[in-house]
Chains A and B, each alone.
Chain A
Amino acid sequence: MTGDSLLTVSGVRKTYPKADAGDLLVLEGVDLALTQGEIVGLLGRSGSGKSTLLRLIAGLTGPSAGSIRYLGQDVRGPSPGIAMVFQSFALFPWLTVFENVALGLEAQRLPKTQIRERSLQAIDLIGLDGFESAYPRELSGGMRQRVGFARALVVHPNILLMDEPFSALDVLTAETLRTDFLDLWSEGRMPIKGVILVTHNIEEAVLMCDRILVFGSNPGRIVSEIAVSLPQPRDRLDPTFRDLVERIYVEMTARPSAGTPAGRTEWFPGHGIASVLPRVSSNLLSGLMETVAASPFNGTADLPKIASDLQMQIDDLFPVAETLQMMRFAEIEGGDLKLTEAGLRFANAELPERKGIFAQQLLRYVPLAAHVCRILDERASHTAPKARFIDELEDSMGDEEAEQTLRAIISWGRYAELFAYDDQNLLFSLENPS
């Protein structure tokens, strides 16, 4: 351990007990070190366990295995040296700005004059002068998050944890807040020594961090580490900056393992009919195919480009792209999305023909869809209760995942007119309602 190491995380594993039996593995084998003066980014999609890791470091929950050491001491609970900024601000709506900021100091039972002095100082630093007696509901989103920052800084933490602090703000406000934060940080005016930032925004990570840890899913783990040595302030249009962004896109869309035999569901956790499917509407699927098929992409699109064109975050874009890949409407290779022959045919077809193509791909490449149709075919009544499939899925996944997977299949099956589903009676059938 080096002398200026603030935090070391080694071999951390986190599981949550599932409702029926077994454990849900959220994080596995995570190692991380934070040294003085650096901003480390945890970049990944929702469900990759990066927020869980942040909560482990904050001491809000404990690891199932491994150790988290802050200044050489095991983290056993929240510590005054580690403060957190929340995605949804988490301000107490019944307290004024001043009271919200002072709360952390009151919990430490400092003398009243000191609480006042330090709170006003933090409010001043973060640019909230004049808003001391306002209630959070009177403030705009950007101002609220400033209160969130002031509240975290007032306890003079060594480490600041930020959980997607800018993602609930509009683009302009987020940019202002980021710039203000980086200015304060590089001028050394904040009492903090190190920062860990959780984000799913690739550009934000490259803009702010000295080191980026890219997270993979199922289970959540660190798949790669990328050092960013560009000097601050960084320029988004700088070719080196663009290259880094492109490289991370490639990293994040690299196929986890070579193709498995049971269909192309390897992007999603589970195998065969027990793959956990994302809820992506058929509108999004056809919309993305149309966009990629049209000019200027003409069938092959760069993912960072399409993300910024469509104003989509990776959490929105990746599931759609991966669903297209699962149904072999497209291939993802080296950060590019390339439509297959079926994808191009779909994009250029009219609605009835589209449904036919969709049904074909769905039956061929999504094992669960074929399974549902086969069961309905075999039964004399050509109907089956939803519970039958839920039970089957729950053998290999949690109840929420089972519900989500079945909902996805219902939505795709309805679009393809493969089967009908009656939500009132929770019944699948081959017949369409008259």
Chain B
Amino acid sequence: MARLQHFSFLRDLATRWDVLALVLVVGLVAFLGEASRNLLEPLSQLKATPLSLDPSRLPEYATRTTLRMLAALALSLLFTFTYATWAAKSERAGKLLVPILDILQSVPILGFISITVVFFLSLVPGRVLGAEFAAVFAIFTSQAWNMAFSFYQSLRTVPAELSEAADSFMLTPWMRFWQLEVPFAMPALIWNMMMSMSGGWFFVVASESISVGQTNIALPGIGSYIALAIAQRNLTGIGWAIAAMLIVILLYDQLLFRPLVAWADRFRVEQEPGARAPKSWVLTMLRRARLVAWLTRVAYAGIRFVSRLGPRRVFTPPRKDKSGRAAERLLFAVLSALVLGALWRIARVLLAGTTPHEALGVIGLALMTMTRVFVLIGLASLIWVPVGVWVGMRPRAARIVQPVAQFLAAFPANLLFPVAVYGIVTWNLNADVWLSPLMILGTQWYILFNVIAGASAMPGELRSVASNFGIRGWLWWRKVALPGVVPYYVTGAITASGGSWNAAIVAELANWGGTRVQAHGLGAYIAEATAAGDFHRIVLGIATMSVFIVTINRLFWRRLYYYAERKFRLT
């Protein structure tokens, strides 16, 4: 029995896994120390040590960027555990909190960066810390919402009998959270963390190098490096940045996510046999190293101790509790007041700084961006749906394509600015048309991901029937392959569409050194307003974009999704 092996690592202290593990752990500590060293330095220090395009500085920059993303991920987890839990546990609060989350998911936070920067800089005046906060916050806003949503969904779908078992053995709410709810939510949460990480790269570039009106801040990091390379028209620099990103993404995958996925496999509730368990060399190492095993045992004991803390509860079945209801009502009132206040502020800003004429113009721009998004989604679907089906039906191909697509999804559009600007200027092309592909650069992969997932989930029997009857060619696509992947495709298209709106802020306005190419659209409008520090126009642009995204989601995508679910569900 494993749990009876006390301290046997003392006998032969180190396995080769131990050596590897030790190197990794010490490396991690050194890495944390290095990156947090100059947080408290004054802001002027940044100006004194300007960024350099020397590739030898890239490891340091990459380290710092990585740390920012990790900090944002930790924040997102904290937010997930609190906000989503609250929304799921309190029915009344959930009624408001869930739609808020839905809106937050659709609001183009990219446009808000300028505002949040001002806020965070004023929190810690004159220190680098403020700018770091702003950057981490921006990345956080790209990661948190879908994680919270996934956790909320999991909390709402904890199997009834497990929940009853927890009740009948009188687990305290605190124990219940850590022993039942978090483990149950873990697989979906980790998957969403991976998606969030990909999405976060897009924001890294935008958040590290910030210019609001007169203020210019460039935090040392890959994002700033890319911005500088673009400003100096340095193609080699761009190449180095891409290489550094690739390495960081690979390391993240191998050192963090793969072990997490393999570890979380035990938390899957459905226990179908035959499915291959995910593997990870890092996890194997951590499990084989005795030192690590001993450390985890100590950590587990700690967790168990913590989970037994908290008030000893006298459980009462959920009857109508007057005082609890009053408290919730109060809370609800406060939240409603906040919402009303926010509405009032938005209205005041808009009424003071903009004219109805301008507002009409903005709606026109939004319509242009909308056309672009829909056309691009259509084009991307034409390409990626057949490819996805082909790949999904070949497991070996899927294993190669998935990680590549994951890397491409993390690829910020800015990196292709040189190509786009050069091409448009050289051949004198129409920017309204040829800048558009940048919008879908990072988001089209969601379509591919989901179609691959759908095609590989198609029951083997259905495919056998098709080949048995000799169904081939167009008939096969029309009657077998496409209907099978429709629900998955719609999910992917929804994500891609939302992401493309957000990307428009970056993609409709491209710079390469001093050359600047601009398309007509809402994204360019917001980007311009941000560069000019024009607060009223930023708010107008973002409000319009939010309204457009939410409306399109409600009226188009959501309906399409329910339709697809009903008609094409394979059960």
Contacts and interface: CB of A to CB of B under 8 A. Distances in A.
Contacts of B317: 59-62, 76-77
B483 interface: no
A84 B308 contact: no
Interface string B247-272: 00000000000000000001111010
Contacts of A62: 317, 319
A86 B161 contact: yes
Interface in B216-270: 266-269
A89 B162 CA distance: 9
A108 interface: yes
A92 B567 CA distance: 35
Contact of A94 (B171, B266, B316): B266
A358 to B, nearest CB: 28
Contact of B179 (A60, A103, A109): A103
B170 interface: yes
Contacts of A108: 170
B168 A137 contact: no
Given A77-B314, A424-B567, A155 B267 contact: no
Interface stretch (A128-136, A257-265, A395-403): A128-136
Given A77-B317, A109-B308, A133-B2, A84 B165 contact: yes
Contacts of A354: none
Given A59-B317, A92-B183, A94-B183, A78 B567 contact: no
Contacts of A132: 1, 3
B177 to A, nearest CB: 13
A132 B171 CA distance: 22
B167 A104 contact: no
Interface residues of B, number: 33
Nearest to A87: B161
Interface string B287-323: 0000000000000000010001000101111110000
A136 B271 contact: yes
B252 to A, nearest CB: 25
B1 to A, nearest CB: 6
A78 B167 contact: yes
A1 interface: no
A137 B266 CA distance: 9
A133 B1 contact: yes
A103 B164 contact: no
A58 B165 CA distance: 10
A83 interface: yes
A80 interface: yes
Contacts of B271: 93, 136-137
B105 to A, nearest CB: 28
Interface in B38-92: none
Contacts of A107: 169-172, 175
Interface in A47-72: 55, 58-62
A422 B304 CA distance: 56
B3 A78 contact: no
Contact of B168 (A60, A87, A94, A109): A60
A82 B168 CA distance: 8
Interface string B148-192: 000000000001011011011111100100011001000000000
Given A80-B170, A107-B175, A55 B316 contact: no
Contact of A83 (B168, B171, B268, B567): B168
B165 A78 contact: no
B150 to A, nearest CB: 18
Contacts of A88: 161
B170 A78 contact: yes
A364 to B, nearest CB: 35
16 contacts: A61-B317, A76-B317, A78-B168, A82-B168, A84-B165, A90-B162, A90-B164, A92-B180, A93-B269, A94-B183, A94-B266, A94-B267, A106-B308, A107-B169, A107-B175, A133-B3
Given A59-B317, A90-B165, 7 more contacts: A59-B315, A86-B164, A90-B159, A90-B164, A92-B165, A107-B169, A133-B1
The 8 A-B residue pairs whose C-beta atoms are closest, nearest first, are A104-B169, A90-B161, A77-B315, A90-B165, A137-B271, A62-B317, A94-B183, A94-B267
Interface of B: 1-3, 159, 161-162, 164-165, 167-172, 175, 179-180, 183, 266-269, 271, 304, 308, 312, 314-319, 567
